[in-house]
Amino acid sequence: MSAALALRRGGFDGAIAIVDSDPREPYERPPLSKTLLSNHASLLKPIVDPATYREEGIDLLGGLGVCGLDSGAHRVLLDDGTALDADRVLLATGVAARDLNLVSGPRPNVLRLRTADDAGALATWLARGGPLVIVGGGFIGLELAAEARRAGIDTTVVEMAPLPLYGPAGPAIGQLVRELHEANGVRFHLSTTVAAMNSTHTSREVHEVVLNDGTRLPAAVVVVGVGVIPRDELARSAGVATDGGIVVDEYGRTENPWLWAAGDVASQPHPHLQTRGRIEHWDVALRHGEAVGLSMAGQLTALDAPPYFWSDQYDQTLQSFGRSRPGDTFVLRRDATPARFLGFWLRDSQVAAVMGLDCPREVRAGKQLIESGVTITANELADPDTDLRAISRRGALAKPRTEISQGISGQPADRHAGSPRST
């Protein structure tokens, strides 16, 4: 949606069609895990007002899948046997949930959480009560654990790493997050994996999760949140390079000038990544979609803003800007508690990333430090009395940046002629 609206703001006045296998109008995905049990109405919050499609001249083709791409004829082949002619095609196919593949055939109470259908099924199962076993201690698993505990459901998280969020946040923040959840009644089984899921002979429902250390966990519902895989099949079938995502340049172009890619599925060069890669965050998808949409309209625009994400857990919000790398120095502010903390990653005496729980002003100041490139010491960052915003003003921005507006709700860009006629 962000790319389609940016095409219009960029001056493209030809036909635009959005093809989506989901028959519903495009809806926001973050509420699926953040407000699953507390606010059912928000589960189908539309991305834009439905009138927008008509006002912007966008054809929404819901309930249709794409079964192939004919690069030679510039046609998109749909699974109902029809085809669309297109001068340019954007692949914004996202990612799919990874499976454990431990059971043969479907198990009705073993669920994933990617779509509104998944969320509806999960809410129905959880209405019956627990125990709930969540496999995966990442953001989705922890958000769901928080929602379940708020509803009084017995909840256990199984994670192969030594701590939750160990990969993106490291051991210090991982330990604080663990303590936050344990204080709310979540049990963790860490540094372990699932070896089997047992069901009775008379039912296909799983009633027990067996861990590789022999632990047996009773389960009424099992949710698997062990990562994702890019939905890059169409790109591969069209002969486009992939490397764990669809390979694009800084403007979203693949090696095939007919095909572009944006969002979670795109393997992009980004100044905050050590090497090209995918960034699986809502805000980045929004901004990357806008940048690529403008580029498709003829206004070449690169996304270089520090990657941002947030995660709602209980009544607190975890936020982060930037990306850490191996070799960075981690600094935790000295007043950190499981209910409120702030951490930084230092690289060459400059802030490369910041993550904080329930301290939005300080996290925003951390973003300013990242963008300014000002030098700062670990002692200054660790001191709760340090005025981070004053330090960020100590130096000018390292270099001028191409600002990306707030995507769908942003201000229109200048119109630009010479764009293709159909996308």
The CATH number covering residue 376 comes to 3.30.390.30
pLDDT at 72: 94
Query: Is there a single domain that holds both residue 269 and residue 236?
Result: yes
Average pLDDT, the chain: 90
**Closest CA relative to residue 335, chosen from 294, 385, 261:** 385
pLDDT band of 271, cuts 50, 70, 90: very high
Query: Is there a single domain that holds both residue 211 and residue 281?
Result: no
Q: Is residue 198 part of a domain?
A: yes
Q: Is residue 200 part of a domain?
A: yes
Residues spanned by the domain of 339: 308-392
Q: Quote the CA–CA distance of 107 and 104 in Å, as a whole number.
A: 8
Give tens-digit pLDDT for 383-416.
Answer: 999 999 889 887 544 445 544 444 454 433 332 3
Please count the structural domains in the chain.
3
Query: Is there a single domain that holds both residue 168 and residue 286?
Result: no
pLDDT at 40: 56
Q: Is residue 408 part of a domain?
A: no
pLDDT at 395: 59
222 beta partners: 110, 133
Q: Quote the CA–CA distance of 164 and 143 in Å, as a whole number.
A: 12
pLDDT at 408: 52
Which CA distances in Å does 348 have to 103, 274, 370, 376?
Answer: 48, 14, 12, 9
This prediction's pTM: 0.89
Question: How far is C-alpha 240 from the geometric centre of its chain's CA atoms?
Answer: 23
Query: Is there a single domain that holds both residue 90 and residue 198?
Result: no
Query: Is there a single domain that holds both residue 14 and residue 38?
Result: yes
Cis peptide before 131 (omega within 30 of 0): yes
Using the 3D structure, point to which of 260, 277, 305 is the last residue of a domain: 305
Mean pLDDT of 145-166: 96
pLDDT at 194: 96
